[in-house]
Structure 1
Amino acid sequence: MKKVGLTASLVLGLGMILGACGSSNNAADPSTAASASPAASAPVAASASPAAAPADQGPKTITYLDKQYQLAGTKNIVVASLEAMEDAAVLGVKPVGAVTDGVKIPEYMSKAMEGAVEVGNRQQPNAEAILKLKADVIMGTSKFQAAVVEQLNKVAPMIPVSHISSNWEANLLVMGQIAGKEAQAKDIIEKYKKDAAAAKEKIAANVKDKKVLMLRVRTGSLYAYPADVYFNPSFYTDLGIAVPEELKAVKAQELVSIEKLAEINPDYLFVQFAEAENKDQPKSLEELQNNPIWKSLKAAKNGKVFVNIVDPSAQGGTSWSKLAFLDKAVAALSQ
């Protein structure tokens, strides 16, 4: 690992690259916002000391998505993405550093990340801060550009944690490998699958021939995602709900007009609304709900519109998101 000789130009260059990368919208990258949820707690202060890190297991070879990573140590873990942060929270891993939402560590993760030093926002991690923490490994994101990966690997080995929902098990397992909690990760996955199977059976009759849709409000507009992105796999894979025909053609984040929503006319409608993503249209959700077309939807007329049943900052396709979402989704779909 190259942890010395990091020049100021490298730090500045890294900041510029990550800033550019973070400016794009990604279907599986919900912006952060404070929201009441079971996991929410007081924000972590920027001056917090490093948390108690996992015991160093010495040199270790990590295998993740068919690629190997050589680590000289495993004690000082830095989570440079919300995907990795959510997995760390599920396993009770205390990283020495964590990214912020631009202001603070996201509120729904603040207790789990208590003691972690802030290392810049998730769109522009601070390479110098990560270097000072003597990071053994940086848990990043697959959304980073190639140049970002190259620069981060000059600070410490960077594992690009996948933002694809179908890789959630591999993501949790790699965090478990690094932190010496692989057995715990396997137990969590096994229990989730059993719980999801039981939930699928429980709601089967209730959701038969029903349209279930999740939308996200961004910049005042409604967006849908492919069936295998964001929270959608929880519905269409884990719970066995039929994918709406209109959603089958969606290949990326897609704008949905209120008129198109009326055509889809879902029986159950789940909406995620984060204030941070709607700063210029803070009343957009309220305006949508007061729209006569919205009120004409089957879901609206039958009281089956559910807003932020989990924190709107949650990434959707991660272990924390799936665990937090399952019971609440089943409760809603049982109505």
Structure 2
Amino acid sequence: MNKSMKTSALGMVLIVLILMLSACGGSKANNSSGSPETGATSAQPSESAATAQPSESASPEQSAEAAASFPRDVDSAFGKVTLDKKPLKVGLANWMLLEMLLPFDLKQAGITLPFSAANSSLESDVYKQYADKFEELKIIGENTQVNLEAMLAFQPDVIIAGSVSNKEIKQQLEQIAPTAWYDEEKINVRKDWTELLTYMGGVLGQEERAQELINDFRTKQSEGKEKLASRSDETVMFVQVRENAVYVMSAASIPQYYEGLGLTPPDAVKEMEAPSQISLEGLTVINPDHLFLGYFNWTDKSLAALTDEWQDSEVWKGLKAVKNNQVYPLNGELALGIGPIGQAYGIDTVIEAMK
């Protein structure tokens, strides 16, 4: 009887030890996976625990991963859009989105260009460093028009489109892939592209990258403003140079230079509400101290530029900027366009010219 009791007691001790070891092992397994302590006895985390925010001890990489979690609902001009997974292939239905997309961490994109492929700055040195990192960068639209067959063949995970400019093909785009519509009536891309960049970061699950790009751009502006402070009492004017016309950029249309760099526009430019066509005679009336010529034939010299004709005239030679050697050429598609890449190039060009 005593022997039986001893045997039974020994068996009980062994069972307790086994249970304790199992509990310790389960605790280590849960901690090593980075799951927060929930106090639950189950070895498998519940669904709510698996999707919870990381604890304060989580690494930056874990925090970034949690912030980019999918599925997610994305705000859209025509109602929320659900994205089941992080987009790896992105289709752009709007040409203004090109510069917003290139700096993000992606390998495949279908893009719409503002001009023909032959006259695009896509192969320029400025864009090339970004474009080369893509395994596939497919042109699915030219001259602002989307090729729906090319978009379908590309098979994007998500399409990003403008609520006004792409509204006529809304049904077709949404049949190809989930479509995130940025609200063109609320987001003024010309005045502030940072809001659109932030929106795209949310669609792509790359919010931190979007903020990094914005911060870098603002730093470049701030540093440039300091370098050009001594020029604040000199007037500066930017024009688009086309084949048969020249357009003055209004101060409101290029705040990255006038506000961002502290440049002073001529009074006539300050009063303009939008870019306006100008003649050579009109240019002599404004007569700025500094003149930036934004050529739109920068990548295709077979196209003419109207100012080439003007430069042979005595009227042109009488401009203050011409006489003082303060006329500067730049890539108009980039510097006078929309987005962080071209405008950063423009800022660098302006600083180098005027410092």
Whether TM exceeds 0.5 here: the answer is yes
1:257 counterpart = 2:279: yes
Q: Is the 8 A contact 1:218 1:278 kept in 2?
A: no
Classify 1:81/1:289 alpha carbon distance in 2 versus 1 (closer, same or farther; 3 Å): farther
What residue ranges of structure 1 are gaps of 5+ in the alignment? 1-55
The code of the aligned residue for 2:232 comes to: K
Residue 89 of structure 2: which of 55, 61, 76 is its match? 76
Question: What corresponds to 2:147 in structure 1?
Answer: 126
1:234 counterpart = 2:256: yes
Q: Is the 8 A contact 2:220 2:344 kept in 1?
A: no
The code of the aligned residue for 1:306 comes to: Y
Classify 1:193/1:158 alpha carbon distance in 2 versus 1 (closer, same or farther; 3 Å): same
Question: What corresponds to 1:95 in structure 2?
Answer: 108
Classify 1:202/1:173 alpha carbon distance in 2 versus 1 (closer, same or farther; 3 Å): same
Classify 1:328/1:283 alpha carbon distance in 2 versus 1 (closer, same or farther; 3 Å): closer
Classify 1:189/1:58 alpha carbon distance in 2 versus 1 (closer, same or farther; 3 Å): same
Residue 239 of structure 2: which of 197, 211, 215 is its match? 215
Query: In structure 1, how many angstroms separate the alpha carbons of the residues matched to 2:293 and 2:207?
Result: 34
Query: In structure 2, how many angstroms separate the alpha carbons of the residues matched to 1:315 and 1:139?
Result: 23
Offset, 1:65: 8.7
Classify 1:311/1:166 alpha carbon distance in 2 versus 1 (closer, same or farther; 3 Å): closer
Task: Compare 145-154 and 236-245 and name the one that shifted more.
Answer: 145-154
Offset, 1:278: 9.6
Query: After superposition, where does 1:53-72 map in structure 2 within 5 Å?
Result: 58-63=70-75, 68-72=80-84
Query: In structure 2, how many angstroms separate the alpha carbons of the residues matched to 1:67 and 1:291?
Result: 56
Task: Compare 258-267 and 177-186 and name the one that shifted more.
Answer: 177-186
Offset, 1:281: 6.7
Residue 325 of structure 1: which of 334, 346, 350 is its match? 346
Question: What corresponds to 1:50 in structure 2?
Answer: none
Task: Compare 244-253 and 323-332 and name the one that shifted more.
Answer: 244-253
Query: In structure 2, how many angstroms separate the alpha carbons of the residues matched to 1:181 and 1:148?
Result: 27
Q: Is the 8 A contact 2:298 2:332 kept in 1?
A: no
Question: What corresponds to 1:167 in structure 2?
Answer: 192
Question: What corresponds to 1:187 in structure 2?
Answer: 212
RMSD: 3.0
Residue 201 of structure 2: which of 173, 176, 180 is its match? 176
Query: In structure 2, how many angstroms separate the alpha carbons of the residues matched to 1:64 and 1:279?
Result: 40
Q: Is the 8 A contact 1:76 1:135 kept in 2?
A: yes
Deviations 1:41-90 (A, max 9, x none): xxxxxxxxxxxxxxx96432234799754334422211233432212222
Offset, 1:146: 3.1
Residue 308 of structure 2: which of 264, 268, 286 is its match? 286
Question: What corresponds to 1:197 in structure 2?
Answer: 222
Q: Is the 8 A contact 2:88 2:107 kept in 1?
A: no
Deviations 1:178-221 (A, max 9, x none): 3332112212212322221122122111x222110000112322
The code of the aligned residue for 1:134 comes to: Q
Question: What corresponds to 2:329 in structure 1?
Answer: 307
Query: In structure 2, how many angstroms separate the alpha carbons of the residues matched to 1:121 and 1:242?
Result: 36
Query: In structure 1, how many angstroms separate the alpha carbons of the residues matched to 2:334 and 2:276?
Result: 19
Secondary structure of 1:317's counterpart equals coil
Query: In structure 2, how many angstroms separate the alpha carbons of the residues matched to 1:66 and 1:299?
Result: 49
Query: In structure 1, how many angstroms separate the alpha carbons of the residues matched to 2:348 and 2:244?
Result: 28
Structure 1's consecutive aligned runs of 4 or more residues displaced over 6 angstroms after TM superposition are 64-67, 276-281
| TM-score, normalised with respect to structure 2 | 0.68
Secondary structure of 2:321's counterpart equals helix
Q: Which of structures 1 and 2 has the larger relative contact order (alpha carbons within 8 angstroms, sep 6+)?
A: 1
What residue ranges of structure 2 are gaps of 5+ in the alignment? 1-67
1:112 counterpart = 2:130: yes
Q: State percent identity of aligned pairs.
A: 25
Deviations 1:108-153 (A, max 9, x none): 3456344222213243212122123322322334661532345433
Query: In structure 2, how many angstroms separate the alpha carbons of the residues matched to 1:71 and 1:129?
Result: 22
Question: What corresponds to 1:267 in structure 2?
Answer: 289
The code of the aligned residue for 1:98 comes to: I
Task: Compare 264-273 and 191-200 and name the one that shifted more.
Answer: 191-200
Residue 138 of structure 1: which of 159, 162, 175 is its match? 159
The code of the aligned residue for 1:176 comes to: G
Query: In structure 1, how many angstroms separate the alpha carbons of the residues matched to 2:216 and 2:301?
Result: 39
Secondary structure of 2:193's counterpart equals helix
Task: Say which structure is richer in helix.
Answer: 2
- Number of equivalences: 275
